Amino acid sequence: MRSDGRRPDELRPISVVRNYLKYAEGSVFIEAGNNRIVCAISIEDRVPQFLRNTGQGWITAEYAMLPRATTTRNIRDAVKGQIGGRTHEIQRLIGRALRSVVNLEKLGERTILVDCDVIQADGGTRTLATTGAFMALVDALWNLLDQGMLAERGIVRDYLAAVSVGIVNGEMLLDLNFEEDSVAQVDMNVVMTGSGKLVEVQGTAEKEPFSRETLNALLDLAQRGIQEILNLERKLLERGLP
């Protein structure tokens, strides 16, 4: 039994509030254990320079952690004058993940801006932010379809979710909290589609290298957890995919 009472293969309870923000085209407030994240979607009628006159849209993400999201205060990136390496990495992860399941041609020359703000962190924020961003994106695209700003469905090709797995004290665990993540021998973040295809695998041995067999076992564990999250998405997103 883990410190929070979960089994090794058990997710933290996930709660989602859709349409959390008044002005965003799509938004969710997502919780998992002690994690609290707000994901918001903004849509602009422009694209980066390299996509102009191509008829194709783009998706990009920004991620931030509020100063007191953790046990000690973090300095804001705006105060430091630059985005930290970890923040930049997570932003790219979220953007890549969403682009992998969206037909960018059907967006037209629009940019979808995803903002993920962590107001309380307890390990696994990048994976929870990815899951929350996907649900907010689905709602935003349905809103555009309802307003007649997009002509047809088939914009989102598949569901998407993410989770962390790792090895702590020699045991494989699903959905690591901060206490577990900080001492893990292996730490891995996995993003998958509803059809079971891998989008991203970020795995690191913190001490001893791990075997291919261990990698496969961790991916199997991640897939079982992601399937639970996908089932929740399908239940909450009752209109299906736009």
The rounded distance, in Å, linking the Cα atoms of 154 and 22 is 26
State the average pLDDT over residues 90-104: 98
CA distances from 122 to 4, 56, 80, 105, 177 (A): 12, 37, 23, 37, 5
The two three-digit tokens of residue 35, written as one number = 């994690």
Top mean-pLDDT range of 1-10, 29-38, 74-83? 29-38
Q: Report whether pLDDT(174) > 90.
A: yes
User: Taking the alpha carbons of 221, 226, 232, 235 in that order, is the dihedral positive or negative?
Assistant: negative
Q: How high is the mean pLDDT of the chain?
A: 95
State the average pLDDT over residues 92-116: 97
Q: Is 126 annotated as a binding residue?
A: yes
At 141 the pLDDT is 98
Q: Report whether pLDDT(136) > 90.
A: yes
| 197-236 confidence digits (pLDDT tens) | 999 999 999 888 999 999 999 999 999 999 999 999 999 9
Q: Report whether pLDDT(1) > 90.
A: no
pLDDT > 90 in the chain, percent: 90
Q: Please work out, in degrees rounded to the nearest 5, the angle formed at the alpha carbon of residue 91 by the alpha carbons of 90 and 96.
A: 95
Q: Is 125 annotated as a binding residue?
A: yes
| 54-88 confidence digits (pLDDT tens) | 999 999 999 999 999 988 898 888 788 777 888 99
The CB-side HSE value for 58 (13 A sphere, CA atoms) comes to 17
Q: What interhelical angle do 125-146 and 212-236 show, nearest 10? A: 40
The rounded distance, in Å, linking the Cα atoms of 16 and 89 is 25
Q: Which CATH architecture has domain 14-236?
A: 2-Layer Sandwich (3.30)
At 86 the pLDDT is 86
Comparing C-alpha atoms, which of 93, 89, 179 is closest to residue 133? 93
Q: Where are the domains of the chain?
A: 14-236
Q: Write the CB contacts of 80 (distance below 8 Å, at least 6 apart in sequence).
A: none
